[in-house]
Each structure stands twice: as C-alpha cells, then as structure tokens.
Chain A
Amino acid sequence: MRNLFARAAALTILTAIMLTAAAGSALACGGLVTPNGTINLLKTTTLAAYHDGIEHYVTSFEFAGEGSEVGSIIPLPGVPTDVIKGGDWTLQRLIIETQQRDLQRTALFSANAEDSGGAQVLLEKKIDALDITVLKGGAIEVGDWAREHGYFLPPDAPEMLAFYAERSPIFLAARFDARRAESRGVQTGQGTPVHIVIPTPNPWVPLRILALGRKASETVQADVYLLTDRRPETLPQAERAKSSDDDQRGLIQEVSEPASGTLLTDLRSDRGMKWLPESGMWLTYIRINETAENLKHDLAIDASGYGRPNPIAAGYPAPSATSWSLLWTAMAAIVAVAFLMAVTDPAVRRQAARVFRP
C-alpha cells in the first residue's frame, strides 16, 4: 500500500504559494532571486476538511533544493489552535480516490502571542526541515515581517496581503531550513505535509494567493479536496467537469459524492486524522485551472445545509459607503438630466405655466 502511495506522491508535485528567500546570482537590480531566476511553482494539493466548526487544512510544502530556500505564506481564516506534521498519505490517498478511477497537539498560541509592535508572532514551530511561523497583522506589518525575515515579496504582494488582511489578519509563513533539510536527508522535490487546525465559523480556502508572483496570462493549477459533514455549496461555484474539454478553465468540480467508507478508514489511519468521522462525510474535489489574472477570489464553503457561502469569505467586497455614494451620484445625475429634458419641453412648460398661474 505504501508503494502505491509513494507512486501517487510522485503525482502530487509541489506546494504552491509564494515567496522566496534566497541567495544566488542577481539577474536584476535588487537581486533577491533564486539562482534560476524565479519561483517555480507547478501545482498545489490541499485538503480543507470542515467538521464540528473546525477547518482542518492539510497541504504539502516541497523542498526546492540546496541553495534556494523557498518559502510560502498562507492566509488563514482564523487563529489556528494547532499546526502539526500532516499525515504521510492523506493527500496521496485523496488523489487515488478521485484521480485514478480511470487509471501531536500543542497549546493554544494566542496566550503566547508576542507583540513586537509589528506583526504578532502567535506561534513558531519546526516541522522536520520546515520553520513555521503563524503571524497576526495587517498587510504592512506582515509584509514588513516577511521582508525583515529574508522573504522576497513579488510586486503584487502588497495588494495581495491587503486583500487577505482585510478579512483575516492571520498568516502562516513556512520556509525550509536548507541545512536541516540536508542533515535530515530531505531530497529536492520531497514534500513535507503540514496540518493546520483552525476553528472558524466561515471556512474558506485561499486560492487567489496561488496567483502571487505570476504573470497575468500564466495558468494556475491546483487540486482542492473538501471533506464536509454535508454536501457543500461553494463560492465561486465550481463548474461541473466537461469530459469533452481537456483544458476546461476555472474551478472545475470533478467529484461530489459521499465519501466512501474505505477512504475515511484510510484517512483516519493517517497521522493526526483521528478527528475524522468514520462515516457520513461528503467528498468534493475541485480542480483549479485558471489564469492568474482571473483567479481573483478564494473558495468560501458553506456545509451547513443552508447553501449560503459567505461572499466576504470568498473575497468579494462588502457594499461600502463609497459604492453607495457613487450610486447616489449616478442616480442624481440621471434625475438632473431627466429634469433638464422635461423643463425644456414646450408642452411641459405650458402645463407648468397653467398649474402655477395665479
């Protein structure tokens, strides 16, 4: 079985999200780029499971090799109560379940929050060769922290960080320690799964950040697995997969069905997955295949049965005072034009003269 998982792991390819902190030859002014000049992020595989008001977010960070320390920042929907090493086969087992048909608990962190005047460090943890830091702060504070800790932020990072910080000021930064990776024998391309436990009433999966640092026309690919108590509604809504379209764009719903007993048994047998019920879960597999410029929102999930995923959790703007004032201005302009047209109409003027004649 393990061999099967190992083969499946080869399919998983890379963790995504962003940022690189690196030494290496400088190809442009500033020079903080990896030796090959860019971040090479191919595909992300993520499980976002929601049960009993807790989001379990499992993703894998891939070691990019010696000499280049690739790091990532993941926006989170809430303060995590736990970050642990993810199970060895959870993501791979989900891939097998959905894509091969055709073929230790820590204390609450908030109590230990360190207030440095900038971003608050809520948690620091080492998982294998990964250094994990959970941060709380606005876009500027988190950006400052990342810069001061050697992360290279691409030019779209300021707007991206603001996009997330407005909704949830919680971020998880993860970076491989190249020396520790070497001493542990971590190979290039080898992933380290991380399991983040986040109590939240509004679960969402960060998708827009997958576009960070990419050109507008570049394609972002990711696999998102949802395990929920009920069949979920998502926003944006995923389109059903079209068998006739090999390059279907957008958020594509490949699987939506009750999770099988064998899947749940296999997942429950993995590290840190005992919280998963033995039955009654719904499995959704959404494939992301979209250009960076069109990936503007996150994936809000409502598994309550009401079918109303939160638009704000998906990153849609809340109606603001500015938009209302613009609306009123437009309406006032229309009324003014209509009034001017009416008063210049001879018939209207004659009628008005009759009405107001003493």
Chain B
Amino acid sequence: MKLRVAVAAVALTLLVGAAAASRGAAARANAGTVRITIHYSSFAPDRLDVDPGETVRFVIRNTDPIDHEFILGDEHVQLVHEEGTEAHHPPRPGEVSVPAGETIVTTYTFPNVSGSLIFGCHLPGHYDFGMRGTVTIG
C-alpha cells in the first residue's frame, strides 16, 4: 500500500514538474548571446539570469507588424523612457528601437553587483500592456 502511494506521489510530482518546466525557467546567455523574440507585444524569454559584470549580446527579433523598443535599465531608466519624448532611439547599449519585422542587436555589460534590472518597451501603452521582463544579476 505504501509503495502504491509512493509511486502515485512520484508520478504526480513528475507531472507537476513537467508542467512547471513547460512555463520556462529564466534564460541564460549562450556563448554570450541572448536571443529575445517579440511576439504579440511580449518578450520571450521575459526572465534572464546573468552574472555580475557579464557582457551580453542581445539579439532582439520583432515578429509583430508594429514597432517596439528594448530598453534595459533600472526603474529610473524605465521611468525616463516612459515619460520621454524620443520617437526613436539612437542605438545606445541596452536601449534600442526594434522596428516591425526587424532584428536588432545590442550589447550590454551588467554592473558588478548583484541586483535586478528591467527591460521594457515604452511606446505608448506598451509598458502598461505588460511588455517588460526582468534580469537578475547574481
């Protein structure tokens, strides 16, 4: 009887684990590169783990028929862009416009301290729509 319960528990754990795994864990850079796809005004992946001081090359592909942005920084940076007036951004590390259907590359070196940053799009309504992700440094 105990064996049956144990087997059932293991099977259930495996099923639940598989379901949780299908939601996706935070992504890590592969050979220094992270590929991010924008689809239906969402970033995928939307969670990243990096090491302090790591330099990451972001390859951002916009599959939507509308323009987007990839703005990486802390909350202050996000606020500046949310209230900003730049229609398009000159390419700065971690701050790029990603036109409809295009792929843009930006390289960013993370600070040498643990913490977290946000990446988001600040075209009108996009950030409120949920177009954002997090980077955990540490």
Contacts and interface: CB of A to CB of B under 8 A. Distances in A.
A82 to B, nearest CB: 28
Contacts of A141: 65
A28 B122 contact: yes
Interface string A310-346: 0000000000000000000000010011001100110
B4 A345 contact: yes
B74 interface: no
A156 B41 contact: yes
Nearest to B14: A333
Contact of A29 (B15, B39, B81, B131): B81
Nearest to B2: A344
Q: How large is the interface on A (under 10, 10 to 19, 20 to 34, 35 or more residues)?
A: 35 or more
Contacts of A215: 128
Interface stretch (A30-38, A221-229, A293-301): A30-38
A155 interface: yes
B65 A153 contact: yes
Nearest to A25: B85
Contacts, number: 100
B66 A158 contact: yes
A142 B8 CA distance: 51
B129 A155 contact: yes
Interface residues of B, number: 35
A336 to B, nearest CB: 7
A154 B69 CA distance: 14
A27 B128 CA distance: 14
Contacts of B67: 30, 147
A75 interface: no
B31 interface: no
B3 interface: yes
B100 A28 contact: no
Contacts of A157: 65-66
Contact of B83 (A28, A139, A142, A146): A28
Interface in B1-26: 3-4, 7-8, 11-12, 15
Contact of B87 (A31, A139, A154, A345): A31
Given A31-B124, A337-B11, A159 B40 contact: yes
Contact of A28 (B4, B8, B123): B123
Interface in B79-138: 81-89, 100-101, 121-126, 128-129, 131
B54 interface: no
Contacts of A128: none
B69 A340 contact: no
Contact of B4 (A152, A162, A344): A344
Contact of B8 (A144, A159, A341): A341
A143 B100 contact: yes
A30 B40 contact: no
A140 interface: yes
Interface string A22-54: 000011111111000000000000000000000
A213 interface: yes
B49 interface: no
Contacts of A209: none
A195 B64 CA distance: 31
A161 interface: yes
A30 B65 contact: no
A33 B7 contact: no
Nearest to B82: A28
Contacts of A144: 65, 100-101
User: Which 8 A-B pairs rank lowest in CB-CB distance, beginning with the nearest?
Assistant: A143-B65, A30-B123, A155-B41, A155-B129, A159-B40, A158-B64, A337-B11, A29-B122
Interface of B: 3-4, 7-8, 11-12, 15, 39-41, 64-67, 69, 81-89, 100-101, 121-126, 128-129, 131
Given A143-B66, A152-B124, A158-B40, 18 more contacts: A26-B85, A26-B87, A27-B85, A29-B69, A29-B81, A29-B84, A30-B87, A30-B88, A31-B124, A141-B65, A143-B65, A155-B123, A155-B131, A156-B41, A157-B65, A159-B40, A159-B41, A345-B4
28 contacts: A26-B85, A27-B85, A28-B122, A28-B123, A28-B124, A29-B82, A29-B86, A29-B87, A30-B67, A30-B124, A31-B87, A31-B124, A33-B124, A147-B100, A152-B124, A153-B66, A155-B41, A155-B123, A155-B126, A156-B40, A158-B39, A158-B64, A158-B65, A213-B125, A337-B12, A340-B8, A344-B3, A344-B4
